[in-house]
Structure 1
Amino acid sequence: MDDKATLHRYLQLRRADLLAKLDGLSEYDARRPMTPTGTSLLGLVKHVASVELDYFGVTFGRPSGRDLPWLADDAEPDSDMWVPASESREEILELHHFSAKHSDETIESLPLDAPGVVPWWSEEKKNVTLHQILVHMCVETARHAGHADIIRELIDGSIGQRSGDPNIPGRTTEEWAAHRARIEQAALAAGNRI
């Protein structure tokens, strides 16, 4: 597999990881703010879909034609990070699929060294290549998929990329509680040394 195909595959996997965190959740749980700053699972999906559409669209002169009012200059700050009741889960999922398709078309049609311009970046950084943006979006998507992992665990205790994830130790609820308690004790002991 060449470098472009490798990066593209990682981006596709992280997109799938992020979307999977919505599986089986109620509307409330998909939208509810789980941090003091309001981070929610569906909000993360909306944000990633929105920024990916611009990075692989506008940056390479391939605008999608899709109006995203939450990214407009006069939009309320952070309106791309949450989903009001007037926007359905289906609309956000459709946006994510549309964004991925548009982005995939850009990735497939351009070489890694294709030049682009990120107009919202500073003058000295705004000239980029497809390679740079692919790396940027792999990191951005993985970062938010990590946020989603933690949020989903806080909502219902689900952990890992999928049921039976081989990277997650097979502990019972009691074993997880004992594991957490041991970590808490270590933190308290370290904190008391100061």
Structure 2
Amino acid sequence: MKLLILDRDGVINHDSDAYIKSVAEWLPLPGAIEAIAQLHQAGWTVAVATNQSGLARGYYDQATLDAMHAHLRALVAEQGGEVGLIVHCPHGPDDQCTCRKPRPGLLQRIAAHYDAPLTGVWFVGDSLSDLHAATAVAARPVLVKTGKGLRTLTQDLPEGTLIFDDLAAVARHLIHT
């Protein structure tokens, strides 16, 4: 199985410090939807692991989050692709859960779902917490410069972090190498 795991906000869709609270605010980044569809068509399983503390903060409810993910799936399907498992952490930063990145719980849930090892699997994110979650399970940390990515570039990145302009560049690399 060729498994690729993506963070959501800042990788697939525009991010906001005020949170993405509705389907209307969920706007895909240029080329991201097409990239997911192309990866799927090239035999990749594309899963999503996303922190969604807006649930714990009361900014939106589970039905709204489900609608955002249904919208993502529909947009990718229109391009002839498919999104695999989407897992999210509904907790706030002080909840001490095991799923909130940089902890590895979300990635472990994806691995269990697909009965697949995470060693070497690319996890694409835009924040240091994404990269640390990847290294916690021996996955490959991949940083995109979208979302918070440029800010993250100024920090001490985990050894071996790959850097790409955006998700479309990641897709081109994976499909053509």
Task: Pick the TM interval, shorter chain.
Answer: under 0.3
Query: What TM-score do the two structures reach when normalised by structure 1?
Result: 0.23
Query: What TM-score do the two structures reach when normalised by structure 2?
Result: 0.25
In terms of fraction of residues, the more helix-rich structure is: 1
In terms of fraction of residues, the more strand-rich structure is: 2
